[in-house]
Amino acid sequence: MKEQHSPWDIRLEHLRVGYGSRVVLDDINAVLPGGKITVILGESGGGKSTLLRHVIGLSRPMQGHILYGGQDLFALPERQFRRVRRRFGVLFQDGALLGSLTLAENVGLPLHEHTRLPKATIRATVLRILELVGLAEFADYYPNELSGGMKKRG
């Protein structure tokens, strides 16, 4: 069967990732097909989170390439690199809401950082989003007042 390529494919080529001089994963070659769900399986401590940190551009690989639609993520000019990174959404293992901000402030943070929308507009948008996941009434709660599942939905 002919291989299908989408401009949304993510390709990993001879990827080596790790921390300092410590290699966690080496020579990873894979295609994560655009529009599909890819599952990464592995033992605890095997390097799944480490791999994802690199794929979304949070850390620079020790070696090899991460290609988005054929373009090397780490060879992109800064502006384009930031534009690609803004398309990523990440649900962290531990929720990763900022403890000093309310749920609504956490959810509104990307809009606050990346747009010039007025506060009231951001608040209204955030409340609409929280409504969708059944958390509107918890908008002004702090993360430590929410359950694990509620934090993930936030």
Ligand X SMILES: Nc1ncnc2c1ncn2[C@@H]1O[C@H](COP(=O)(O)OP(=O)(O)OP(=O)(O)O)[C@@H](O)[C@H]1O
Binding site for ligand X (CB under 6 A): 19, 24, 42, 44-50, 93
Strands of 33-139, DSSP E:
63-68, 71-72
- Number of residues forming the site for Mg ion (CB under 5 A): 1
Give dist(CA 64, CA 17) in Å, integer: 9
DSSP 56-70: TTSS--SEEEEEETT
- CB nearer to Mg ion: pick between 50 and 71: 50
Nearest distance, CB of residue 98 and ligand X, angstroms: 19
Q: Which residue of 24, 34, 49, 142 would you call a contact of Mg ion, by CB under 5 A?
A: 49
- CB nearer to Mg ion: pick between 49 and 59: 49
Nearest distance, CB of residue 148 and Mg ion, angstroms: 16
Cβ neighbors of 151 (< 8 A, separation 6 or more) are 95, 97, 143
Structural tokens at position 127: 């409340």
Distance between first and last Cα of the chain: 41
- CB nearer to ligand X: pick between 24 and 129: 24
Give dist(CA 1, CA 135) in Å, integer: 46
Choose among Mg ion, ligand X, none what residue 19 binds, the Cβ cut-off being 5 to 8 Å by kind.
Answer: ligand X
- CB nearer to ligand X: pick between 59 and 71: 59
Nearest distance, CB of residue 112 and Mg ion, angstroms: 28
**Amino acid identity, position 34:** G
Binding site for Mg ion (CB under 5 A): 49
